[in-house]
């Protein structure tokens, strides 16, 4: 297994940025529980960090290396600051475009890795869970599936907090910069429900969605609400919840469960 960290100039976000990577290129089969994953070429997983996080979170706090070994995955972990992985035209910083287009294209050119849709997954925790859903639905031609853990998809709550001038995990001014006009937020394409409806109406092949949240997590209601929406839409999705809070203990277990579920289909 090879691990590393790279820096390059990303045009879409107008800055130098880092990403970590893990390649399962010299794994001993004695380490692998299900050897069927090595009957194919490695697949790719772009793994997103949460609020205040960096590209090293999944490498040092999480289980990126173990998941690369067990599921024969090239894992790429970018850093984007507290952007919610959204395109922010006012700053000429297009974070969703960076994650879905520039980063995979750079990886393909640099390492010669096939980053085609059928070979690529996207996942993340908290802010990164939201980012995984939003990016997969914004670029359905780029991702086979997304894995969203403890996702910050409480869009209606964020809009109400901004309207009332209440700061949540973000100051109100930063929330407005990221999400825009709170009166328009729920009906905008920053709302995954709106994104999904548009794709379904267009007859687009929508990525599979794996959604999981801990029952002691403050974001559980938002996850359950999105689950109910997906069920009504007849979406190709998997939902799981279980004992757990907003922490690495939950995220490590459910990234494993999510990958097992998605890659078995």
If one counts the domains in the chain, the total is 1
Verdict on whether the full-model pTM lies above 0.85 = yes
Residue 111 domain-assigned (yes or no): yes
Q: pLDDT band for position 41 (50/70/90)?
A: very high
What would the pLDDT profile of 235-244 be if each residue is shown by its tens digit?
999 999 999 9
The 3-class SS string of the chain reads CEEEEEEEEEHHHCEEEEEEEEECCCCCHHHCCCHHHHHCCCEEEEEECCCCCCCCHHHHHCCHHHHHHHHCEEEEEECCCCCCCCEEHHHCEEHHHHHHHHHHHHHHHHHCCCCCHHHEEEEEECHHHHHHHHHHHHCCCCCCEEEEECCCCCHHHHHHHHHHCCCCCCCHHHHHHHHCCHHHHCCCCCCHHHHHHHHHHHCCCCCEEEEEEECCCCCHHHHHHHHHHHHHHCCCEEEEEECCCCCHHHHHHHHHHHHHHHHCC
- 79-117 confidence digits (pLDDT tens): 999 999 999 876 789 999 999 999 999 999 999 999 999
- Strand bridging mode 2-10 / 43-48: unpaired
Mean pLDDT in residue range 138-152: 98
Would you state the pLDDT for residue 106?
98
pLDDT mean across residues, the chain: 96
| Residue 53 placed within a domain | yes
The stretch 59-70 carries a mean pLDDT of 97
Average pLDDT over residues 194-211: 98
**For residue 201, is it within any domain?**
no
Q: Give the mean model confidence (pLDDT) for residues 193-214.
A: 98
In a domain, 239, yes or no: yes
Note whether residue 65 is domain-resident. Answer: yes
Q: Is the pLDDT of residue 65 over 80?
A: yes
- Asked if residue 244 is part of any domain, the answer here is yes
Q: Quick check: is 96 in a domain?
A: yes
Q: What is the extent of the structural domain holding 220?
A: 2-152+208-263
Does 49 map to a domain?
yes
Mean pLDDT value across residues 15-37: 95
- Determine the pLDDT at residue 92: 80
Residue 151 predicted with pLDDT over 70: yes
User: Does residue 265 have a pLDDT over 80?
Assistant: no
pLDDT value at 167 more than 80 = no
> What pLDDT score was predicted for residue 90?
67
| CATH assignment of the domain containing 126 | 3.40.50.1820
Lowest pLDDT segment from 52-66, 86-100, 219-233, 242-256: 86-100
Averaged pLDDT, 181-188: 96
């Amino acid at each position: 297994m090879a691990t590393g960290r790279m820096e390059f100039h990303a045009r879409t976000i107008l800055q130098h940025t880092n990403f970590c990577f893990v390649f399962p290129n010299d794994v001993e089969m004695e380490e692998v529980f299900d050897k069927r994953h090595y009957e194919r070429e490695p697949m790719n997983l772009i793994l997103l960090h949460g609020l205040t996080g960096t590209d090293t979170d999944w490498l040092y706090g999480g289980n990126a290396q173990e998941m690369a070994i067990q599921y024969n995955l090239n894992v790429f972990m970018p850093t984007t600051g507290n952007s919610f992985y959204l395109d922010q035209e006012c700053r000429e910083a297009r974070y969703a475009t960076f994650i879905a287009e520039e980063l995979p294209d750079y990886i393909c050119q640099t390492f010669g890795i096939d980053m085609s849709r059928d070979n690529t997954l996207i996942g993340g925790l908290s802010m990164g869970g939201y980012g995984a859903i939003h990016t997969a639905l914004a670029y359905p031609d780029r991702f086979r599936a997304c894995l969203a853990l403890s996702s910050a998809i409480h869009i209606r709550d964020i809009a109400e907090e901004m309207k009332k001038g209440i700061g949540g995990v973000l100051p109100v001014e930063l929330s407005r910069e990221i999400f825009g006009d709170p009166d328009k937020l729920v009906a905008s394409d920053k709302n995954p429900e709106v994104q999904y409806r548009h794709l379904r109406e267009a007859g687009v092949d929508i990525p599979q969605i794996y959604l999981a949240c801990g029952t002691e997590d403050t974001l559980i209601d938002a996850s359950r609400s999105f689950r109910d929406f997906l069920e009504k839409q007849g979406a190709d999705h998997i939902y799981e919840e279980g004992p757990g809070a907003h922490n690495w203990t939950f995220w490590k277990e459910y990234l494993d469960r999510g990958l097992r579920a998605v890659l078995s289909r």
